[in-house]
Structure 1
Amino acid sequence: MTSDNTDRAFLAEVLAHGKTDVEVTSGPLARALGTTIVSAVPRRVRLRFALDEGHTQGAGVIHGGTLTTALDFGMAFSVLTELDEGMSAVSVNLNVNFMKAVLPQTVYVDAIAESVGRRIAFANARMTTESGILVASGTSSLVVQEFRRA
C-alpha cells in the first residue's frame, strides 16, 4: 500500500464526489483553525477559517502567523488537488502581505495553483472577510515530491 499525504487524500475524496462545505478533518492544525473546504476544483480551492480569541495576540487581533498559516493551507491545497496518490507538496518559499488587522471572525482564503510541474509548483491566495474586504494575500513556491512521513 502506498503511503499518502492525508490532506491530498482528503481533497481527492472531496473532488471525486463534488463535495462542498466540508469540515477539514485530515489534520489537527486544520481542525484547530476551524477549516472548511467551501469549494474545490482542480487548481482552485476556497477555504473558510473560524478564527476566534484563541488565535489572537496581545493587541486582540488575529496573530499574523495564524493568517499566514491559513494562506499556506490554501496554496498547498490548491496544488494538492493536482497531485496523484503518493505525491505531496511542501512550501519552500512563502510571501505574505497584510493589508488590515483582523479581529476574531470568519475569513475566506481563495487560492489558485498557477503552475504545477513535476518538481515545483507556484500558487497564490487572497484572504477576505465575510463582507469581502481583502485583509491579506500571499504567494508560494512549493516542491512537488513523493510523500514521506516525517
Structure 2
Amino acid sequence: MQQPVLTVAEVETFLEAEFPQLHHGGRSVMVESVGPMTARLRLIADERHLRPGGTVSGPALFMLADVGLYVAILAHIGPVALAVTTNLNINFLRKPPHGDVIVEIRLLKLGKRLAVGEATLFADGDVEPVAHAVGTYSIPPAAK
C-alpha cells in the first residue's frame, strides 16, 4: 500500500499557501491525519455551514468530500496544485446535526493520470454516515 509523501503539517501549509479561500471567514477545515491511501479531515461547522433547520448544508458536505479527496491525493503525490476534480458524485444519507463533521477518505486507485477515491462523512461521534461520495481527479503529467 502506497505511503504518503507529505505530512499533515505539509498538507496544511500547502493549502494555506495555494487555497487561502478555503479558510475565508475563519479556519473551519482541519486535516487530522494522512495514512497509506487514506486521510481524515474535520469540518468545524459554524453558522456559514448551516441550512434552515440548523443542519449542516449539502454544499458544506460536498466541499468537505472534495477537499478531503484532494488532500488524500496530494499527500501521496506531493504538492501539485493543478490536480483537479473531474467528477464527484455524492449521496446524502441523513441530516447531520449542527456540529463537527468528519470525512474519512480511502483512495481506491492512484494512477499516473487519474486518482479515484471515496469519502464517507460522519457527524462527529456517530457511527452511521451522513453522506458518501466517490470522486475522480486528473493528475497533471509532470506530477508523478
TM-score (norm 2): 0.78
1:97 aligns with 2:91: yes
Residues 119-134 of structure 1 mapped to structure 2, 5 A cutoff: 119-132=113-126, 133-134=128-129
1:60 positional shift: 2.8
Among candidates 11, 14, 32, match of residue 8 of structure 2: 14
Q: Distance in 2 between matches of 1:146 and 1:62?
A: 37
* Contact 2:33–2:40 (8 Å) recurs in 1: yes
* Contact 1:42–1:78 (8 Å) recurs in 2: no
The residue aligned with 2:133 is 138
- Note closer, same or farther for the CA distance 1:62–1:135 as it changes in structure 2 (3 Å cut): same
* 3-state DSSP of counterpart to 1:80: helix
Whichever structure has more helix as a proportion of its residues is 2
| One-letter amino acid of the counterpart of residue 143, structure 1 | S
CA RMSD of aligned residues (A): 2.7
Percent of pairs identical after alignment? 23
Cα deviation, 1:40-80, whole Å, max 9, x if unaligned, reads 12421111110122212233322211110001111111111
1:48 aligns with 2:42: yes
Q: State the number of aligned residues.
A: 133
* Contact 1:80–1:88 (8 Å) recurs in 2: no
1:86 positional shift: 4.6
Alignment gaps of 5+ in structure 1:
1-10
TM-score (norm 1): 0.75
